[in-house]
Structure 1
């Protein structure tokens, strides 16, 4: 199970190395919500659970856009994805990683 406290966080330079992309491409992935990032200790970081096979988890983008549409900031969306969600019985990111995208998005839509 994932939560923000025991999540491994990756910096932009670490993502550059891991994904083989330029820093500007990594920032574009964040700006376009293919990845969500937060400042931790003053440094922009992305939770490692948002990646699979050295690429952004495809389900993040649509879920982040949906959360934005219901009024969440990117920071709030990131926090929601990492926090235990009672109606899912796990964290939303773990549910997404388990292939439960439709269920996660139904729960997110109900957050209006």
Structure 2
């Protein structure tokens, strides 16, 4: 069925007690400094929105946006000096989450991807799409993105 990746959430937590500041790099099993993972994500994701920014765009309370993150419909990461939660701007349309994103996140999570791995996959160019999976979702080509996400489980 899916890749044997151990605990699917392991990649987003401190890898082992006594080694704070490191996360387990699931694909190769090595410990990686959090800053290395953060730098990789920063290089891939061009723009970010804070949860209050999204709440204002959607016309809802910030608690509703936090709930969307908790439910897995959005991915939020801590960044910046104050380590506030931020969501990639490309996940947000005019007044809603980009169509197909929540289902794609569910497929990836079910395959054991950490939040960081999902972001990396969504923002890495795929010449067969063409573009990145998140660009394809924004262009209403979600079927192809989901097909590729499902193929990862094989």
User: What are the ranges of 5 or more consecutive residues in structure 2 without an aligned counterpart?
Assistant: 1-40
User: What are the ranges of 5 or more consecutive residues in structure 1 without an aligned counterpart?
Assistant: none
- CA deviations on 1:51-77 (whole Å, 9 max, x unpaired) are 112211131110000000111122321
Equivalent-residue separation in structure 2 for 1:78 and 1:67 (angstroms):
10
RMSD: 1.8
The number of aligned residues is 110
Residue equivalent to 2:116 = 75
Describe how 1:38-53 pairs up with structure 2 within 5 A. Answer: 38-41=77-80, 42-53=83-94
- CA deviations on 1:37-90 (whole Å, 9 max, x unpaired) are 222222210111111122111311100000001111223212211121233221
Query: What is the TM-score with the length of structure 2 in the denominator?
Result: 0.64
Query: What is the TM-score with the length of structure 1 in the denominator?
Result: 0.86
Equivalent-residue separation in structure 2 for 1:75 and 1:52 (angstroms):
21
Residue equivalent to 1:98 = 139
Aligned partners of 2:57 and 2:94 also within 8 Å: no
Larger radius of gyration: 2
Aligned partners of 1:8 and 1:48 also within 8 Å: yes
Equivalent-residue separation in structure 1 for 2:113 and 2:149 (angstroms):
10
Residue equivalent to 1:8 = 47
| Higher share of residues assigned helix | 1
